[in-house]
Amino acid sequence: MKTPLGGNNLTVQVYESYPSADNTWTLSFNNSASTTGSYVVYAICLPVTPAS
Protein backbone atom coordinates (compact mmCIF):
# COMPACT_ATOMS: atom_id res chain seq x y z
CA MET A 1 0.00 0.00 0.00
CA LYS A 2 1.29 3.46 -0.84
CA THR A 3 0.39 6.48 1.29
CA PRO A 4 0.91 10.11 0.22
CA LEU A 5 4.24 11.72 1.06
CA GLY A 6 4.64 15.09 2.71
CA GLY A 7 3.16 16.57 5.89
CA ASN A 8 0.23 14.17 6.14
CA ASN A 9 -0.51 12.42 9.40
CA LEU A 10 -2.15 9.40 7.83
CA THR A 11 -2.08 6.32 9.99
CA VAL A 12 -3.19 3.08 8.36
CA GLN A 13 -3.99 -0.21 10.02
CA VAL A 14 -4.52 -3.11 7.61
CA TYR A 15 -7.22 -5.53 8.77
CA GLU A 16 -7.11 -8.06 5.97
CA SER A 17 -5.25 -8.67 2.72
CA TYR A 18 -5.90 -11.89 0.79
CA PRO A 19 -6.81 -13.38 -2.60
CA SER A 20 -10.62 -13.64 -2.54
CA ALA A 21 -11.08 -15.13 -6.03
CA ASP A 22 -8.94 -16.31 -8.95
CA ASN A 23 -8.54 -12.74 -10.23
CA THR A 24 -9.44 -10.60 -7.17
CA TRP A 25 -7.48 -9.36 -4.16
CA THR A 26 -9.29 -8.01 -1.10
CA LEU A 27 -7.81 -5.42 1.25
CA SER A 28 -9.51 -3.55 4.08
CA PHE A 29 -7.88 -0.95 6.28
CA ASN A 30 -8.64 1.89 8.64
CA ASN A 31 -7.12 5.37 8.73
CA SER A 32 -7.25 6.24 12.44
CA ALA A 33 -5.84 9.76 11.94
CA SER A 34 -8.15 12.76 11.89
CA THR A 35 -6.88 13.79 8.43
CA THR A 36 -8.31 12.57 5.15
CA GLY A 37 -6.35 11.30 2.20
CA SER A 38 -6.37 8.89 -0.67
CA TYR A 39 -4.58 5.60 -0.98
CA VAL A 40 -3.27 3.55 -3.86
CA VAL A 41 -3.21 -0.21 -3.35
CA TYR A 42 -1.20 -2.53 -5.57
CA ALA A 43 -1.42 -6.30 -5.77
CA ILE A 44 1.26 -8.04 -7.79
CA CYS A 45 0.24 -11.58 -8.65
CA LEU A 46 2.71 -14.26 -9.70
CA PRO A 47 1.89 -17.68 -11.05
CA VAL A 48 2.38 -20.53 -8.62
CA THR A 49 4.48 -23.44 -9.82
CA PRO A 50 3.92 -26.64 -7.84
CA ALA A 51 7.05 -28.15 -6.33
CA SER A 52 8.12 -31.42 -7.91
Q: What is the pLDDT of residues 18-38, one digit of tens each?
A: 988 888 889 888 877 766 777
Calculate what percentage of the chain has a pLDDT beyond 90: 2
What pLDDT was estimated at residue 44? 83
Radius of gyration of the chain measured on its C-alpha atoms: 15
Distances (CA, A) of 26 to 12, 38, 40, 45: 16, 17, 13, 13
| pTM for this prediction | 0.54
Handedness of CA 19, 10, 35, 4 (dihedral sign): negative
